[in-house]
Amino acid sequence: MTRVTTSPIALSVALLLAIAPSLAARESDQPVPPRVEIKYRMSIAGIVVGEGHDVLQHDGKTYSVVSESRTIGIAAIYRLLVRREAKGDVTAKGLRPLSFVETRNGRFTRSARFDWAAGFAELIDGEKKQTVRLPPNTWDAASLPWTFAFWRPNGKSVQIYMTDGRRLTEYKYAVLGYEKLATPLGELDTVHVKKIQENGDRRGLDAWLATDRLFLLARVRGTEKDGTVFDSIVQSVSLAR
């Protein structure tokens, strides 16, 4: 059941093409408030199995992200709480992570530390430790989806890197277009992006970003290797001015 407990924000991983010029032209120029809080509800085949709660705080120079997701409903018997915390700097090119930590039910799972000056990241997954090269366009799983609230570059690159402490992985996404999305918040204007699946990749991922709400995630739909489809949709957004 771990597939349903990872935060929807973490599951979005890349969403890189939301920064393409065609999207930047339609964005609303909103300043990012010092605190943003989002709640999600996750389901499989229409049955609610999890909920997510994500909070971003920043002062214009530094930021922190806390992302929690837990099993509820029929999945509550698993009693699983996943917490991801990230900290870093707010830069002219979005968020630059410095640290990332994941725990499950209060126990350490994995982490990442970023040394931008040296160009390396230290990844710890349980007892396994490794040092990997750090490309400029790299984020941790908790920080990545927030960075485009701060930065819309004009490039057309479709390559980014993300780490959850286990490995550093390249992701590519394609923009499918603008869509209206029905949510508990009402009908939202969104842009639909889809993971580009390479040969042999059976894990699919679609995401809808709310164009008038800082390009925050409104919905995530993922497909696992076994064909199981999970769906996550925003329940509330709180912007502290």
Question: pLDDT per residue over 166-218, tens digit each?
Answer: 999 888 877 888 899 999 999 999 989 888 877 877 788 898 988 888 888 89
Domain ranges of the chain: 2-172
Local structure of 232: helix, strand or coil: strand
Radius of gyration over alpha carbons of the chain, in Å? 17
pTM equals 0.83
**pLDDT value for 43:** 94
Q: Taking the chain, what is the end-to-end CA distance rounded to the nearest angstrom? A: 37
Question: pLDDT per residue over 35-94, tens digit each?
Answer: 999 999 999 989 999 999 999 999 999 999 999 999 999 999 999 999 999 999 999 888
146 vs 133: CA distance, rounded Å: 23
**pLDDT value for 104:** 96
Interior/surface letters 165-195, b for 16+ CB within 10 angstroms, e for the rest: bbebeebebebeeeeebebeeeebbbbbbbb
Q: Going edge to edge, which strands form the sheet with 160-163?
A: 138-140, 160-163, 168-171
